[in-house]
Amino acid sequence: GQQLNQSPQSMFIQEGEDVSMNCTSSSIFNTWLWYKQEPGEGPVLLIALYKAGELTSNGRLTAQFGITRKDSFLNISASIPSDVGIYFCAGQLGGSQGNLIFGKGTKLSVKP
Amino acid sequence: EAGVAQSPRYKIIEKRQSVAFWCNPISGHATLYWYQQILGQGPKLLIQFQNNGVVDDSQLPKDRFSAERLKGVDSTLKIQPAKLEDSAVYLCASSLDLGVRPTGGGYTFGSGTRLTVV
């Protein structure tokens, strides 16, 4: 089946540092999404990207839809303790009626 | 607006027993999804409904899993009989229309039901 390769698998950073994570695939997606999941909760949408090359920000978060439509990255600037959680990328294939393909997640730990 | 409601939050059963999960999507959302999230993995789609019709159930293990959305609102996912490998979080999500659209935003997920099969 379709796969998204998400990296890194985990990150341990100091409060105030910037963070970068990415997803790549061999398939072309028409939509890229970034979600955050905290323990005991469902994923919460952070940013949605709909066009190749699109760069979108949401507060301290910035994400880009790769030109090839096969990759995306998420940056978090000036991390704070509440950024802790698991970040998932998800892609929707062209022609798909809604099935989102998820990466395996990046677990972020922030040391105060 | 109220979010996606799921119950129960936790369930522990023995293998070969049956179990059912319930989901109430956001009001007005036509599309409802059930995802399975195994520990350490991203969610994987099991079944997708548009109103009360099935859009995609290609990844649903139909020998043991079933789901219905009889009136196009609430949905129930059932496992019978359960296996050890069914231990996972079962997430329900809903969206205004089919999939993710710029005009409709993304999915909204519920908090999930954590199933442990022993």
Q: How far apart are CA A103 and CA A32, in angstroms?
A: 11
Handedness of CA B53, B56, B58, B60 (dihedral sign): negative
Q: Enumerate the β-bridge partners of residue A72.
A: A23, A65
Under DSSP, the state recorded for A68 is T
Is A48's Cβ below 8 Å from some Cβ in B? yes
Q: Which of B60, B107, B108 to mutate to test the interface with A (most CBs of A within 10 A)?
A: B107
> Which of B88, B86, B75 minimizes the C-alpha distance to B31?
B75
Residue A58 · residue A47 · CB < 8 Å = yes
CB B56 to CB A98 under 8 A? yes
Q: How many CA atoms lie within 13 A of B33 on its CB side?
A: 29
Which residues on chain A are in Cβ contact (under 8 Å) with B60? none
pLDDT tens-digit series, residues A6-39: 999 999 999 999 999 999 999 999 899 999 999 9
Q: What angle do CA B56, B61, B64 make, to 5 degrees?
A: 125
pLDDT of A41 over the 90 cut: yes
Three-state DSSP class for residue B85: helix
Which residues on chain A are in Cβ contact (under 8 Å) with B56? 97-99
Q: How far apart are CA A80 and CA B40, in angstroms?
A: 24
pLDDT tens-digit series, residues B87-107: 999 999 998 877 777 665 668
Q: What is the mean pLDDT of residues A92-100?
A: 79
Q: Residue A102 is nearest to which of B43, B106, B111, comparing CB atoms? A: B43
Q: Which helix (H) or strand (E) holds A31?
A: strand A29-37
Q: What is the mean pLDDT of residues A66-83?
A: 96
> Which of A25, A29, A99, A22 minimizes the C-alpha distance to A69?
A29
Under DSSP, the state recorded for A67 is T
Which residues on chain B are in Cβ contact (under 8 Å) with A4? 42
Q: How far apart are CA A45 and CA A66, in angstroms?
A: 19
pLDDT tens-digit series, residues B29-80: 999 999 999 999 999 999 999 998 999 999 999 999 999 998 889 999 999 9
pLDDT tens-digit series, residues B13-32: 999 999 999 999 999 899 99
**A67: exposed, middle or buried (Cβ count in 10 Å: 0-12, 13-18, 19+):** exposed
